Amino acid sequence: MDVFNSVKSLNERLSFSREQGNSLGLVPTMGALHNGHLSLVAKAVRENNTVVVSIFVNPTQFNNAQDLAQYPQQLTADIALLKTISEDLLVFTPSVKEMYPEGLGAKPYSFNGLDRRWEGEDRPGHFQGVGTVVEKLFEMVRPNQAYFGEKDFQQLAIIRDLVRQKAFGISIIGCPIVREPYGLAMSSRNERLKPLDRVAAAVIYKTLKIAAQKALAQNLLSEITHEAIKEIHALENTAVFYFEFVNARSLEPIKTLENPENTRIITAVNFKGVRLLDNIGL
């Protein structure tokens, strides 16, 4: 497996693949890889001749210095995990200087309102940072397809919008959430929870499933939401930032269920100081 720190060396290697007309897949990550990331990488490997996995903890998407400082960094372990999927991956691990030669800063994107609610409201500037780094990665790697997890459902919608705005011509492949056996959505942040707390946090997914079933049967969305929040609050040291039925494309909240196929329930929960995101389709 080849590891590249610079855009120049990566592109020297990629120019060969491009000349062969090979399809190129990109899996952008911030490292601390888990089975959720590996499922994206495995899908990218199945669907492309060449796959680049980027590992870069992007400072501009953290609006909280402590969150950035605590973000797990474990490159050696990440590379060992990637090898279990394929020895042929190209791993791109740029420095901050390589990604931001002009100095750290995020572009002032507007994502058609998608960035203003939910994570955007609670974490100002977060999606501008995500947009900035993803745009840079797309320009550096120029993939045909890029793979993102549905756990960060709002991020996925925003990246689709970015690709539309910039007319990048890259297919964005959204991949299903991978869960722990007890139901918690996999996330690098789960590392910050003790094993028993991770099991307890599975109540978030249970509540999402029940809310989805009830919505299809009763359509009383505000009562269902109220019950769900109460259920999650029963966990010790928990605050629900939001638990909402939304239009899966615009992410606008919905009050009555008219189009279940285009409805998602999204939630963010602070459990013991860790922000946990999850969502479910109807």
Nearer to ligand PAF, 158 or 269 (CB): 158
Q: Could you give the string, one character per residue 216-255, with x where binding to ligand PAF holds by CB under 6 A and - elsewhere?
A: ----------------------------------------
* Token couple for 227: 């019950």
Residues in contact with 171: Cβ distance below 8 Å, sequence separation at least 6, in sequence order: 144, 145, 146
What is the four-CA torsion angle of 169, 105, 82, 119, rounded to 10 degrees? -80
Instruction: Work out which of 30, 162, 184, 221 binds ligand PAF, going by CB under 6 A.
Output: 30
| Residue 34 is among the residues annotated as catalytic for this protein | no
Residue span binding ligand PAF (CB under 6 A) among the ranges 3-11, 22-30, 96-104, 173-181? 22-30
Residue span binding ligand PAF (CB under 6 A) among the ranges 5-13, 23-31, 113-121, 166-174? 23-31
Catalytic residue among 34, 37, 126, 226: 37
**DSSP, res 263:** E
The pairing of strands 145-149 and 24-29 is parallel
Tokens 């109220």 belong to 226
Q: How far is the CB of 228 from ligand PAF (least distance, A)?
A: 25
Give the whole-angstrom CA distance, residue 218 versus residue 151. Answer: 26
Nearer to ligand PAF, 65 or 217 (CB): 65
Regarding 201 and contact with ligand PAF (CB under 6 A), the answer is: no
Nearer to ligand PAF, 30 or 201 (CB): 30
Give the whole-angstrom CA distance, residue 194 versus residue 239. Answer: 18
Nearer to ligand PAF, 118 or 245 (CB): 118
DSSP characters over 32-47: ---HHHHHHHHHHHHH
Give the whole-angstrom CA distance, residue 211 versus residue 203. Answer: 12
- Indicate the angle between helix axes 126-141 and 7-19, nearest 10 degrees: 50
Regarding 269 and contact with ligand PAF (CB under 6 A), the answer is: no
Q: How far is the CB of 58 from ligand PAF (least distance, A)?
A: 4
Cβ atoms of residues 212 and 280 within 8 Å: yes
Nearer to ligand PAF, 25 or 28 (CB): 28
Regarding 29 and contact with ligand PAF (CB under 6 A), the answer is: yes
- Name which of residues 125 to 154 contact ligand PAF (CB under 6 A): 130, 133-134, 152
Of 264, 279, 262, 119, nearest in space to 205 by CA: 279
Q: How far is the CB of 256 from ligand PAF (least distance, A)?
A: 32
Give the whole-angstrom CA distance, residue 159 versus residue 176. Answer: 16
Residues that bind ligand PAF (CB under 6 A): 28-30, 58, 61, 130, 133-134, 152, 155
Cite the active site residues: 37
